[in-house]
Amino acid sequence: MSGEEVGSALPRRNYMKRNQNSSTLKKYSPSHSDSKPPSPQSSVGGERTVKNLRLSKALTIPEGTTVFEGCRMMAARRVDAVLLTDSNALLSGILTDKDVATRVSADELRPDQTVVSSVMTRNPIFVTSDTLAIEALHKMVQAKFRHLPVVENGEVVALLDITKCLYDAILRLEKAAGQGSPWSSALSAPSPFIETLIDRMLKPALWTFISENTKVAIVSASEPVQVAAKKMREFRVNSVIILSGSRIQGILTPRDILMRVVAKNLSPELTLVEKVMTANPECATLDITILEVLHIMHDGRFLHLPVTDRDGNIVACVDVLQITHAAILMIYVMVWFPNFFGIVILSFN
C-alpha cells in the first residue's frame, strides 16, 4: 500500500488479512464519542520535544514553481509534501499530496500550467524544535495536518511527518498497557468481568473509534483517476476503495495520484484507476485493537488501512491521523484517569 517508511523496525506482527469476497456493502454503527482530548501537558508527553522525534530534511521550492515540477521533485525524493517560500525566502505555504489530488486533479487543472502558490495551503501551522512532542501531535491531529514545518529563527530547518511518530506512539502505549495501573494490581482476585473490563479499557477495539457516519468513497477500476479525486474531495476522505462487485480490488490514495499520475505527467482524465491503484490491499477487521493497528501501519509502512467486518464487507478506511488521534486518547485515559476508573472497577468487584 501507499506509504512512507515510518521509523525503526519493531517485531512484525500478523494482524492483517487479505481482502476477501463480500456480498454487500454495509456500514457499521457502534457507539462513538466526538469528545476532544484534554489540553496537552508535559505529564503526558514528558519532556520529549520535537527535536527528539524523527525529523526529515524539508524539500523547499519557490512558490512560483509549477505543480508538475514540484510533484516531479517530490517523487524524486519520495516525499509527499513540499514547503514553499516567497521572494524573500520565507515560508509561505505547503503543498501536499492531498492538495494535488483535491485541488489540481479534481479541479481539472493542468499541473504544468498551474503554479503551486495557487493551490498550496498558505501560512501553515509550524512548530519549533523545542515544542513538546505531544503538543506537536495535538496540532497535527486537531488541524488534520500530517506534516508540520519545524522553524527556527524564521528559517525552515525540518519537516515533521506524523508517520515518523508511530514508533514512539507504539512504545508509549505498550509501556502503559504493560504496566497496567495501580488499581488493577490492587485487585487480588478480579472476576472475569473485571478482567475483561480492564482489558477493554487498556486495549480498545478499532470499532470503538469508528463513527456510524463514517464515509467510504468507492469507485470502479475502469473509472478515470479524476473521478476518484473528485470522490475524495466530495466525501472529504484521503482514499478511495475500488470494488469489483462487493470484493475489495484496490485502494487509491493522494500519494498514488501524486507519484503515479501527476509526477509522470499523465492525464487524470485519461488514466484509469486500475493502472495506478494499489491492488489487493491488506485489510484490518473491526475487532483488532488500536495498538495492533499501529503495528500494522508501522510494520507495513501504510498510511491508510481498509477495515472490514467479519463477512469481508468494507465498513471504513482509517488513516494514520485517525489512528494517532485514537492513540493519544488512549494515552490520556491510561495516564490521567486511573483513579477514576479504579473507583468504578472496585465498586463492581
Do the first three CATH levels of 17-41+171-334 and 42-162 match, i.e. the same topology? yes
Residues linked to residue 81 through DSSP beta bridges, in sequence order = 96
Report d(CA 26, CA 221) in Å as an integer: 20
More confident residue, 193 or 271: 271
Closest to 316 (Cα-Cα) out of 342, 344, 345, 283: 283
Q: What is the model's pLDDT at position 327?
A: 80
pLDDT digits (tens, 9 = 90+) for 281-293: 999 999 998 888 9
- Phi and psi at residue 20, to the nearest 5°: -130, 170
Q: Please give the residue that has the higher pLDDT: either 10 or 67.
A: 67
- Residue 62 to residue 91: CA distance in whole angstroms: 9
Q: Which of the following CATH numbers is that of domain 17-41+171-334: 3.90.1660.10, 3.40.50.150, 3.10.580.10, 3.40.50.720? A: 3.10.580.10
- The CATH class of 42-162 is alpha beta
Which residue from 179, 175, 144 is spatially nearest to 162, judged by alpha carbons? 144
Does residue 7 carry a pLDDT above 60? no
Q: What is the pLDDT of residues 78-107, one digit of tens each?
A: 999 999 999 988 889 999 999 999 999 999
Q: Does position 249 have pLDDT exceeding 70, yes or no?
A: yes
Quick one: pLDDT band at residue 178, thresholds 50, 70, 90?
A: low
Q: Across residues 130-145, what is the average pLDDT?
A: 86
Least confident range from 226-230, 297-301, 315-319: namely 297-301
Domain ranges of the chain: 17-41+171-334, 42-162
Give the pLDDT band of residue 208 (cuts 50, 70, 90).
confident
Q: What is the pLDDT of residues 12-55, one digit of tens each?
A: 444 445 444 433 333 333 333 333 333 434 334 456 888 888 78
* pLDDT, position 26: 33
Burial-class residue 332 by CB neighbours within 10 Å (0-12, 13-18, 19+): middle
Q: What is the pTM (predicted TM-score) of this model? A: 0.77
- At 79 the pLDDT is 94
